[in-house]
Amino acid sequence: MPKDIIRRDTKRSLIIFEVVEEADRPLSPQEILFLAQEKLPKLGIATVYRVVKNMVESGSFKAVELPGEGLRYEISGKEHHHHFHCQKCGKVYEIDCCIDSDLHNIPPGFSVTKHIVVLYGYCSQCQSAE
């Protein structure tokens, strides 16, 4: 984690960074709070938002946007990838590949600058619970 983001919330910043890194999937601020409170019980949601904002501004975290959902956050610097959103538990997982990366069906004269693919279904835990 870059030292410039460690400001007055050093311990909190380190724990929040570790939680997101260990999860290895995009987390909502509420998920970050829940997981970080296991290590720092008095942590509050306002601190999570402040630290996450600093992490995004410093380039340590990247915001993940999903249609109709609040932002989630993951560690920056990963290869291009897409996401899987479980319709039962709401967790979001990374898919380490690019689906349809050749984009051969775009209209003539169009130029693609980026794309986002989100798959929806049931994660392995929710699938086995049924």
Question: What pLDDT does 78 receive?
Answer: 86
What pTM did the predictor assign? 0.80
Query: What would the two tokens of residue 37 be?
Result: 């409170």
**Of 59, 63, 52, which is closest to residue 9 (Cα–Cα)?**
52
Which band of pLDDT confidence, cut at 50, 70 and 90, is reported for residue 6?
A: very low
CATH code: domain of residue 10: 1.10.10.10
pLDDT digits (tens, 9 = 90+) for 61-109: 999 988 888 999 999 998 888 899 999 999 999 888 776 556 677 888 8
CATH code: domain of residue 120: 3.30.1490
Range 43-79 burial, b when 16+ CB lie within 10 A, else e = beeebbebbbebbbebebbeebeeeeeeebbbbeeee
pLDDT of 118 strictly over 50 = yes
* Same domain? 71 vs 13: yes
- Structural domain count, the chain: 2
Domain that holds residue 38: 3-75
* Same domain? 63 vs 119: no
Once rounded to an integer, what is the mean pLDDT over residues 52-69? 92
Question: What pLDDT does 3 receive?
Answer: 46
* Same domain? 68 vs 115: no
